[in-house]
Amino acid sequence: MKYRLDKGNHSVYSLQFHYVACVKYRQKVLTGHIPDRLKAINLDVAKAFGVEIIEQETAIDHIHILFSSKPQIQLSKFVNSLKSVSARLIFREFPEVKKKLRKGRFWSPSYFLASTGQVTLEDLKKYVENQNA
């Protein structure tokens, strides 16, 4: 098995995640300059947390982010910061967006977050099973 490894003072780790957030009511507001600004905001938030955004892309009503994290990062705090900071700044910089969304909420309260692997789960199972050989 070959991993892309990150190192801390007392650890070696490989933690990548796939995150998806949808605009409230799946409103189609991620158009024009908004996607580029949203991506820049996300990069700033990630930098503040010490998280590396590997890739991010928007559709018209949601965003996908692939990121790498340190073990110390509380993922829920990171995700909540992504959502709150981006919503606040998008509303401030693009006031027309707020008018399109009911009750002034930018993101849906739910989101998708999955850990990603650099090997398949089946390969990892075989590796662990063979440790006693």
DSSP of 18-79? EEEEEEGGG-----TTHHHHHHHHHHHHHHHHT-EEEEEEE-SSEEEEEEE--TT--HHHHH
CA distances from 62 to 8, 29, 77 (A): 33, 9, 20
Encode the chain (133 residues) as per-residue pLDDT tens digits: 466 788 888 889 889 999 999 999 999 999 999 999 999 999 999 999 999 999 999 999 999 999 999 999 999 999 999 999 999 999 999 999 998 897 889 999 999 999 987 777 787 778 777 876 5
What is the model's pLDDT at position 1? 47
Q: How do the domains of the chain map onto residue ranges?
A: 6-132
**Residue 45 · residue 85 · CB < 8 Å:** yes
- Which position among 3, 13, 111, 127 bears the catalytic label? 127
What is the model's pLDDT at position 130? 84
Active site residue 127: yes
- Of 16, 19, 13, 15, the C-alpha closest to 79 is 19
This prediction's pTM? 0.87
Helix (H) or strand (E) holding 6: strand 6-7
Residues 80 and 96: their CA atoms lie apart, in Å, by 23
What is the model's pLDDT at position 103? 81
Length of the chain measured in residues: 133
- Strand 6-7 versus strand 16-23 pairing type: unpaired
CATH class of the 6-132 domain in this structure: alpha beta
CA distances from 7 to 71, 106, 131 (A): 10, 36, 24
The CB density around residue 67, as the number of other CB atoms within 10 Å, is 24
